[in-house]
Amino acid sequence: MTNSQKDNLFVLVKSLSKSEKRQFKLYAGRLGGNINSKFIALFNILDKLQAYDEVAILASNIVKKAQLSNLKAHLYKQILISLRLNPSHQNIRIQIREQLDFATILYHKGLYKQSLKILDKAKNIAVENEEKNIAYEIVELEKVIESQYITRSISGRADELTIQAKELSMLNVIASKLSNLSLQLYGILLKTGYVRNDDEYNIVTNYFKARMPKYKIYELGFREKLWLYKSHLWYSFLVHDFINAYKYSNKWVELFQKYPAMISLNPVFFLKGNHYLLESLFLLRHHTKFKQSLENLEEVIASESFPSNDNIEVLSFLYIYNNKLNLHFMEGTFAKGIPLVDEILARIHRYKSRIDEHHVMLFYYKIASLYFGAGQYKSSIEYLAKIIENKSLQIREDLMCFSRLLNLIAHYEAGLDYSLEVQLKSTYKFLIKMNDLHEVQKEIINFLKELGNIYPHNINKEFKKLHQRLKALEDHPYERRAFLYLDVISWLESKIEHRSVAEIIREKFLKLKR
């Protein structure tokens, strides 16, 4: 039996809204002969099923097993055609491509002037909306028509089209190189995390500089600037340059403020830009701007003018709730954040077919951190176990590492001494497989390994010693990020002062509030 989460057709059917299902049935029934067709029957069966069940489909006798694959492919195509025709999915990009298709049809019918008229209008719309790839396609078709010397419509037309093609091609090449660089840097971030030493810093920096194309900023439009800022942002995150991460994420957001029409056309990039602005403000611990930016984002998303679709709904959830948790971490209000957990889990379940597992694991780590800060250590361990025991994907090394370290500390705090030694061995085996462990990680693991040999009356003294060693690393360029994943300094201070972690973090927040 095919897993329901892996059957693309079933997932597509289940993603449809009521209006989209109604639209599909109207579209499919436009010809009388289709109303009882097999693909309609298959659609109705899938719509009623709670989980994909091939046995139930075959038992309905609408199709034989050998024909099922072809029928599913046909239904999938028909649903996509129906969605393309749905007004809610009609945007500028689709409208321009539709005009290009119309112009192509007219060209093949020999109606050249009509074709050129549509192309010229579509090209202007494409350029205005930063759709330069489509604009280039349009110019190329215009050149094909004009090159046949049939219209002879405008003197100097050849020069005009040549210049347009050259300018668009140049900008498309820059945008392509910048988007490639941005994606490659993001891939490095997901695979290995942030740079951990000078060698890695030099490798990433040389990689970034070698692939940054030459450009003149005044020649760049919205799209090219967007990819430029994204590339600088990923580089800044990779090398722990949080000031520049803020600078370029802010430029990203301001770009949309300068071109407000781009928000409805590129809502995903708008959301991502705001999310990374919030992340950089969180890393800089700039509370006032963080809180205001989060409120602004929530307000825009809730407005009637902001686009709404399944993808936007999922991304809005990911970014808003991740940053709501970050706000509680920043303020030290862990207990107040606990009610968010049920909301997050409900939405993860609702969007389970559309959220990748990596993002789910990130949520689990933040939920575990929330419970840890609230003193609910067993609940923290429960969510950390979901990450540590997950064998179905390659989680970013640094996330797995800090999940294991927080798990050790949570076991110690929960008084689960009987399993602490097993956890220590497992964590140590995992950590030694990693390349170039952070000094912070080494200090923590060595301290926890010696815990069993420390007399109770000496424990406070040992906490102070570890605190001094880690405090010296707090501002180290390659070590400081470790303290953002796992605020071990505040935990040690809570042990030394016999107070809760939440109290310590809250007190620091109130002193540094800005």
As a whole number of angstroms, the longest Cα–Cα distance in the chain is 97
- Cα separation values, 244 from 177, 270, 277, 379, Å: 21, 19, 11, 37
Task: Decide: 400 and 362 in contact? Cβ < 8 Å.
Answer: no
Highest mean pLDDT among 244-248, 347-351, 499-503: 244-248
Query: What local confidence, expressed as pLDDT, does residue 353 receive?
Result: 77
Query: What local confidence, expressed as pLDDT, does residue 31 receive?
Result: 58
Query: What local confidence, expressed as pLDDT, does residue 300 receive?
Result: 94
pLDDT category at 396 given cuts 50, 70, 90 is low
Query: What local confidence, expressed as pLDDT, does residue 2 receive?
Result: 43
Of residues 179 and 450, more confidence is placed in: 179
- Cα separation values, 333 from 120, 281, 372, 373, 374, Å: 58, 18, 12, 8, 8
Q: Is the pLDDT of residue 181 over 80?
A: yes
Query: What local confidence, expressed as pLDDT, does residue 202 receive?
Result: 94
By mean pLDDT, which of 26-40, 99-113, 305-319 is the weakest? 26-40
Of residues 474 and 339, more confidence is placed in: 339
Query: What local confidence, expressed as pLDDT, does residue 30 receive?
Result: 74
Region 421-425: what's the mean pLDDT? 76
Of residues 6 and 124, more confidence is placed in: 124
- Cα separation values, 104 from 55, 108, 115, Å: 45, 6, 7
Q: Is the pLDDT of residue 347 over 90?
A: yes
pLDDT digits (tens, 9 = 90+) for 255-292: 999 999 899 889 999 999 999 999 999 999 899 999 99
pLDDT digits (tens, 9 = 90+) for 12-39: 998 888 888 988 888 887 755 554 588 8
Of residues 38 and 179, more confidence is placed in: 179
DSSP letter (8 states) at residue 91: -
Query: What local confidence, expressed as pLDDT, does residue 434 receive?
Result: 66
Region 476-505: what's the mean pLDDT? 85
Q: Give the orientation angle of helix 132-146 with respect to helix 92-108, to 10 degrees.
A: 10
Query: What local confidence, expressed as pLDDT, does residue 254 receive?
Result: 96
Region 1-17: what's the mean pLDDT? 74
Q: Is the pLDDT of residue 514 over 60?
A: no
Q: What region does 425 belong to: left with phi over 0, alpha with psi -120 to 50, or beta? A: alpha
Of residues 232 and 128, more confidence is placed in: 232
Q: Is the pLDDT of residue 8 over 80?
A: yes
Query: What local confidence, expressed as pLDDT, does residue 4 receive?
Result: 45
Query: What local confidence, expressed as pLDDT, does residue 298 receive?
Result: 96
Task: Decide: 371 and 377 in contact? Cβ < 8 Å.
Answer: yes
Distance CA(108)–CA(96), nearest Å, equals: 19
Query: What local confidence, expressed as pLDDT, does residue 482 receive?
Result: 73
Average pLDDT, the chain: 86
Distance CA(369)–CA(373), nearest Å, equals: 6
Distance CA(168)–CA(160), nearest Å, equals: 12
Query: What local confidence, expressed as pLDDT, does residue 158 receive?
Result: 78
pLDDT category at 119 given cuts 50, 70, 90 is very high
Query: What local confidence, expressed as pLDDT, does residue 484 receive?
Result: 73
Q: Is the pLDDT of residue 458 over 90?
A: no
Query: What local confidence, expressed as pLDDT, does residue 348 receive?
Result: 94
Calculate what percentage of the chain has a pLDDT beyond 70: 92
Which sign does the torsion angle of CA 207, 209, 215, 217 carry?
positive
Q: How many CB atoms lie within 10 A of CB 512?
A: 11
Of residues 155 and 354, more confidence is placed in: 354
pLDDT category at 1 given cuts 50, 70, 90 is very low
pLDDT category at 3 given cuts 50, 70, 90 is very low
